[in-house]
Structure 1
């Protein structure tokens, strides 16, 4: 190999160092352009880390105090399918960019697409059933506890006497003009729903018709005004005994909703009974706390009803005291809108 003089090798090295920075700059420019092209084609790669960093948690939310009726103890909101309904919320934080979805009772999956939360009105699901509200912000979700939404089955779904295999019967308003309009809709009740609290003292099962039908689901009309009135009566009695003494409320065997079909079979029942509209209940309350139901209890309950109607005239209705040995001692309470009194 021929020896190269030292003075010729040094300039060669100098030329190499002189052009290397240009090549590095070109390489960097190429890489930046390539990354930019990829990000332009898929901008999520750029935004996703920042979106995750900027996402806000969902604030603490619960139903506001006026969401539970006049009594403050009604735990159920009623709605027809797909209808806008008031669902007032107390939001402790920034409500911006909150959405909501509905979760059917007993499930964790969403039953509806998320909708933006605007004010105190929400749109109910299209399918009948009991639902919980879940708030959504980005990928974060939070259930709102304390208030259940009941989406009713419209009365128009009834075909003749039947509703989805369950015998309801026929209302007088279906046959005779000028009679009371039938209920707008019915609760659809499965066996899993029976234990659901719809007020502080009442469950779904308290309003089932006590007939012999084995069909499920079952159906019942329930008036939110009646629920409020019953809870106010209990609160009135509680105030006499002291708030630290619990009041037991038991529903009579003929209480709650009665389908027209079943009402015809009840001895001495009114032909167009308020029970058929979910607007009446026959109740027994141990008002004096002696551990048994007596005539004195019924009289005390009757007095409580009178006081509640004086305080809340919008809940005026019927009051019937039943104190016979044959039927036992119980009280009929309804919220029909006019004052009616009787003894049985």
Structure 2
């Protein structure tokens, strides 16, 4: 990728204030959505479990209303749309972008205008302490839903009206274009773009919708799995994004599945790479109890005050002839259990 031009900003925070703020974002303690009032409750700042590299940066970058505490993360924008970026918990920072237009908008603050051509740009924000957060910024392919496909890739039909008027169920305005090469791009420290593709058969490129809130939730779940003593460096995504066409083809009758909106994933722990859930309970068998164990890890997080932005569905699925047990998680905004 071409050298990234740098846009510098001026310091504005006092060292004393920085010290107080930095205490809040050590390791994974900064997993939250930024809200102006009131101050959000934060996860406790704890060392990462032994042997687990959590990917946490020493500061955070707020992208619009989302705070990102990781050294690698994905964001999206429609062509020509603008994202506001602000470096948090640092006295000074500089930023650069490989594509699009990046302009200073204040101390440690920039505005990035997405290019008109869909694709991947890299935005790097570097603190005065020389720590860097790399944002993989995907410019979306706009979609007006007048057709049921993008090129040769079948999308299907979304419902015209959001369920119960909830804007979370509005038709996606655009899709990430995924080439064979982009499938390996990191969208979070422990997850790659290709993990979330629909399983439908098609040639490249493929397309998907992917929620950053889901990625933040999965990273925190993975951290908790390791904290509980089960070593894993990712969660296997059995099913991430689904097109409406694929969702119907596999027999799902609901037309409002959260998988269609990019903020749901069916996941399991598979550290040994055999394609099914590991025996995380240690009872010598892979059963529904292992899915229940993983669901309990998620449920423990849901009891924390900082968890509000990640509230959503949690489902437990036992083994079947064609697969092992797994759990469903999403960020629909209301707690649902099955």
Change (3 A) 1:278 1:206: same
Q: Deviations 1:157-200 (Å, cap 9, x if unpaired)?
A: x4410223321111012699957311232111111101011112
Q: Secondary structure at the match of 2:303?
A: helix
**Higher RCO (CA-CA < 8 Å; seq separation 6+):** 2
Contact residue 141 and residue 177 of structure 2 kept, 8 A:
yes
CA 270–287 in structure 1, closer or farther in 2 if over 3 Å, else same: farther
Give yes or no for the alignment of 1:122 onto 2:111: yes
- 2:324 is aligned to 328
Q: Deviations over 1:22-57 (max 9, x none)?
A: xxxxxxxxxxxxxxxxxxxxxxxxxxxxxxxxxx99
For 1:251, the equivalent position in structure 2 comes to 237
Question: Equivalent residue of 1:173, what SS?
Answer: coil
**Is the Cα contact below 8 Å between 1:282 and 1:333 reproduced in 2?**
yes
Match of 1:298 in 2: 291
| Bigger strand fraction | 2
- Offset at residue 260 of structure 1 (A): 0.5
Structure 1 segment 1-344 matched on structure 2, within 5 A: 65-67=59-61, 72-73=69-70, 75-89=73-87, 100=96, 102-103=97-98, 111-112=99-100, 115-116=103-104, 118=106, 119-126=108-115, 127-133=117-123, 146-156=134-144, 158-173=145-160, 178=165, 180-214=169-203, 216-241=204-229, 245-252=231-238, 255-268=239-252, 270-285=254-269, 286=278, 288=280, 293-311=286-304, 312-326=307-321, 327-342=323-338
CA distance in 2 between partners of 1:112 and 1:248 (Å)? 31
Distance in 2 (alpha carbons) for counterparts of 1:57 and 1:86: 14
Q: 1 CA distance for matches of 2:85 and 2:326?
A: 35
CA-to-aligned-CA distance 1:228-267 (integer Å, 9 cap, x gap): 111111111221117xx44442111xx1100001110113
> 1:83 and 1:58, CA in 2 relative to 1: closer, same or farther beyond 3 A?
closer
Superposed CA RMSD:
3.7
Greater per-residue helix proportion:
1
Unpaired runs of 5+ residues, structure 2, are: 1-5, 10-56, 126-131, 270-277
Aligned length, in residue pairs? 263
Could you say what secondary structure the match of 2:246 adopts?
helix
Secondary structure of 1:264 counterpart: helix
The answer to whether the 8 A contact 1:99-1:117 is kept is no
Give 3-state SS (helix, strand or coil) of 1:251's partner: strand
TM-aligned CA deviation for residue 288 of structure 1: 2.4
In the alignment, is the contact (CA less than 8 A) between 1:84 and 1:121 conserved in 2?
A: no
Give the Cα separation in 1 of the matches to 2:183 and 2:220. 23
Q: Which moved more, 1:79-88 or 1:203-212?
A: 79-88
In 1, are the aligned partners of 2:315 and 2:328 still within 8 Å (CA)? yes
What is the TM-score with the length of structure 2 in the denominator?
0.66
1:325 to partner: Cα distance: 2.9
Q: Secondary structure at the match of 1:88?
A: strand
Larger radius of gyration: 1
Change (3 A) 1:294 1:66: farther
**Contact 2:60–2:89, Cα closer than 8 Å, also in 1:** no
Instruction: Name the counterpart of 2:128.
Output: none
Deviation at 1:270, TM superposition (A): 2.8
**Does the 8 A contact of 2:102 with 2:112 survive in 1?**
no
Q: TM-score, normalization: structure 1? A: 0.65
